[in-house]
Structure 1
Amino acid sequence: MTDPVEPADTDTAALPLPDGAGADGVEVVCLGESMVTFLPSRPGRLADVPSFARTIGGAESNVACALASAGHRVRWISRVGTDGFGDHLVDAVGAYGVDVSGVRRDPGRPTGIYFRTATDRDTAAHEVAYYRAGSAASAMSPRTMAYDDLFAGRVLHLSGITAALSADCLALMRDLTAPRPGRPSVSFDVNHRPGLWRDGSGPDVLLELARGADLVFVGEDEAASAWDLHGADAIRAALPEPRTLVVKRGSAGATVYEQGARGAGPADTVTSVPALRVDVVAPVGAGDAFAAGFLSATLRGLPAAARLRHGHLMAAATLTVAGDLGTPPSRSRADHLAALDADAWGTLRLGPGWTAEAPEEVRTP
């Protein structure tokens, strides 16, 4: 497709948000499983790696941690075991400033863990060994979750990973994406993981859930894999229901489709922003970081191009570190970079440590 020309930034975020934060100040609630992650001490097959460093990983908790680091009030809701790994997860996520009061402990089920290689997940050499079957998080259901906690913020952020964990988790996701009074705006990251959908139902389920959300994030690559849809326009044609659709297009950047402003008719406003040039250390977690950056800018009422740029900047903070979570730039720093003109944006090149540099120190060719 031909990239749309960026329109003038005359409108603020089109995503309908309840005014203010929740009763206890929460802006975003993130629901989903987080696991203790073991990162290899060196490249190679899992069979050959001698030791691993412990960290945390989970799509929704990654978003929560990134948003909290960017200064937002965020609650992460999940279930973990009463084991040491569960203790570590709750402590580690809470250390980012995330409210973890909604995490429940399950004495009968373990906390999930996984090991992965250092190689890119898109390569044949990439290995991941999950130990999450029967985990505490897989017992999330409409019966075990407190809806007052889930609906406490302006935005409820979900991902397609949760739906794949169990039949109970899928029932919860269907309930949360169904229209209902008092539901906050629902943000949904498709996060298609074919390996989690052993019965092959993933594509249909993910399309169903996405159609019930207000804001949807999806990659062109995963839309092609899951739905045989090619190009951002084709994805929007298949997903007309969400008020805001963000299509991540890899090195080409990202495009956001937004339904017309209230009372202005149904026509979409389409905005595209090119990706940044980044010296990538590891790609894992970049999609979650992009979602956090976009959500942060949405909560602040910024226009479409700025929201996409903040997504790219937050993703760059994660792409330039080894783990799932990078340290985001300060808000003033991110605003400075997001406000650059098109030529200056196009010459940015960000590498490890860039979030600690002053604006004038960002490397250019």
Structure 2
Amino acid sequence: MRLCKQLKVVTAVTHKGINPEILTLGETMVLFQTVQDSRLQYASSLAKSLAGAESNVSIGLTRLGKRVGWLSRLGNDPFGDYIYSTLLGEGVDLSYVRRDKQYPTGVMFKEIKGAIDPGVYYYRKSSAASVWKSKELSQEMFEGVKTLHLTGITPALSSECKETSFEAIRLAKQAGAMISFDPNMRYKLWSAAEARQTFIELIKLSDIILPGIDEGELITGKQDPDSIAIDILALGAKIVVIKVGPEGSIAYTKEEGNLYKVKAPGFPVHQVVDTVGAGDGFAAGFLSAYLDQENMFDCLQRANAIGAMVTQYRGDWEGLPTLEEVESFISGRVAVSR
């Protein structure tokens, strides 16, 4: 009787058709952010959007011409409807998104405070995505997929989500897919010690790792990019791409015992509007160029350019460019200004 009840409250929505070459996996929430620079307690109005690292990457990749699918869970509520329709409208395949009648869609709030990094507040405990069970994944979901991209956010949500993340990697690798992992540390979700242990376990199973300097230090205890990369490569990763802020990014690979290093400079930004989502744009840029078989410098350059462009827009994904827009920006090497 209990099993029958569970089957009634969770349903899969299927719109199969684009055969995704890339899958992302993670929670997306409805985002409410201050309309003007203001702390939340003083804000008189809020603008609605959506936010989720993995869906940001999904949208970024579709705008760059890639076929992308998103694996997640949403509440069977108006917020879930909003997220579903928005991602569908962006061309993201939602074949295996599940709608839950018992648990709601997560919500988050963001306060914009000028050039200071925005304050973010999560209301995602007991959300539909946080109760994600690994048994809901199947081999069919990963057929034909070239890359699975996930972040360190999902395993931080619950023990069930952690198991689901590892199961997704297992199924993806079994299907022959490459694994891309962005640590995307969220200190509000778990402790540094627990995150470090989980990140190391995930890195051992992944091919491409995309940390920032702070995340690299968390994982390895070191601050120098070269030292961070050497330690992460020693865990089994094939490519380590380290974001070094305004200076750009550095990619490391190791072949026959030799360390290879490529660096691409960042793009100047005259005025930062919102930094949230820049790392997700970076990931979309790098992965799209890598799948296009561009050389490593061009992969970094596209990633750097998109990261810079995204900081000029409020919201997590609204500023993600098309391939034509980012190529035009790169060729002009013009400083971004609002």
Q: TM-score, normalised by structure 2?
A: 0.88
Partner of 1:92: 86
Structure 1 vs Structure 2 CA RMSD: 2.2
CA distance in 2, matches of 1:191, 1:41: 26
1:238 paired to 2:224: no
1:254 corresponds, among 232, 238, 249, to 249
Structure 2 counterpart SS, 1:188? strand
Cα 1:181–1:330 change in 2 (3 A) is: closer
| Structure 2 CA distance for aligned equivalents of residues 216 and 122 of structure 1 | 27
Q: Work out which of the residue numbers 184, 189, 197 in structure 1 matches 2:177.
A: 184
SS in 2 for 1:281: coil
Trace 1:191-340 onto structure 2 (pairs within 5 A).
191-198=184-191, 200-225=193-218, 227-240=220-233, 241-260=236-255, 265-278=256-269, 279-338=271-330, 340=331
Work out whether 1:31 is the aligned partner of 2:22: no
Pair 178,75 (structure 1): closer, same or farther in 2 beyond 3 Å: closer
User: Aligned equivalents of 2:143 and 2:44: distance in 1?
Assistant: 44
SS at match of 2:313: coil
1:350 aligns with 2:324: no
Query: Which contiguous aligned blocks of 4+ residues in structure 1 show a shift greater than 6 angstroms?
Result: none
Q: d(CA) in 1 for partners of 2:266 and 2:329? A: 13
Q: Alpha carbons of 1:186 and 1:275: their partners in 2 closer, same or farther (altered >3 Å)?
A: same
User: 1:120 touches 1:283 (CA, 8 Å); kept in 2?
Assistant: no
Q: TM-score, with normalisation over the residues of structure 1?
A: 0.82
Q: How many residues align?
A: 319
State whether structure 2 residue 49 is matched by structure 1 residue 55.
yes
Deviation of residue 71 (structure 1)? 1.4
Q: Is the 8 A contact 2:63 2:321 kept in 1?
A: no
CA shift, 1:233, in A, is 1.1
Partner of 1:363: none
One-letter amino acid matched to 1:231:
D
Structure 1's 164 and 328: CA in aligned 2 closer, same or farther, altered over 3 A?
Answer: closer
Shift of 1:227: 4.2
Q: In structure 2, what is the Cα distance between the partners aligned to 1:121 and 1:229?
A: 28
Q: Aligned partner of 2:241: which letter? A: V
Taking the aligned partners of 1:64 and 1:88, their CA distance within structure 2 comes to 16
Cα pair distance change 1:190/1:122, threshold 3 Å: farther
Alpha-carbon distance in structure 2 between the residues aligned to 1:298 and 1:254:
15
Greater strand share, 1 or 2?
2
Give the C-alpha shift of residue 202 in structure 1: 1.1
Deviation at 1:174, TM superposition (A): 2.3
Extract unaligned runs of 5+ from structure 1: 1-21, 353-365
SS in 2 for 1:257: strand
Cα pair distance change 1:328/1:117, threshold 3 Å? closer
Match for residue 141 of structure 1 among 125, 128, 133: 133
Q: Tell me how far 1:326 sits from its aligned partner.
A: 3.5
- Cα displacement (A) at 1:266: 4.1
Q: Which amino acid aligns with 2:43?
A: V
The structural deviation recorded for 1:34 is 0.4
The offset of 1:121, in angstroms, is: 9.7
Check whether the contact 2:18–2:93 (CA below 8 A) recurs between aligned residues: no
User: Which ranges in structure 2 are unaligned for 5 or more consecutive residues?
Assistant: 1-15
Tell me: CA distance 1:203–1:151, structure 2 relative to 1, closer, same or farther (3 Å).
farther
Residue 328 to residue 80, structure 1, CA distance change in 2 (3 Å): closer
Q: Give the Cα–Cα distance (whole angstroms) in 1 for the partners of residues 184 and 323 of structure 2.
A: 27
Matches of 2:125 and 2:28 in 1, distance apart?
13
Deviation at 1:225, TM superposition (A): 4.3
Name the % identity: 32
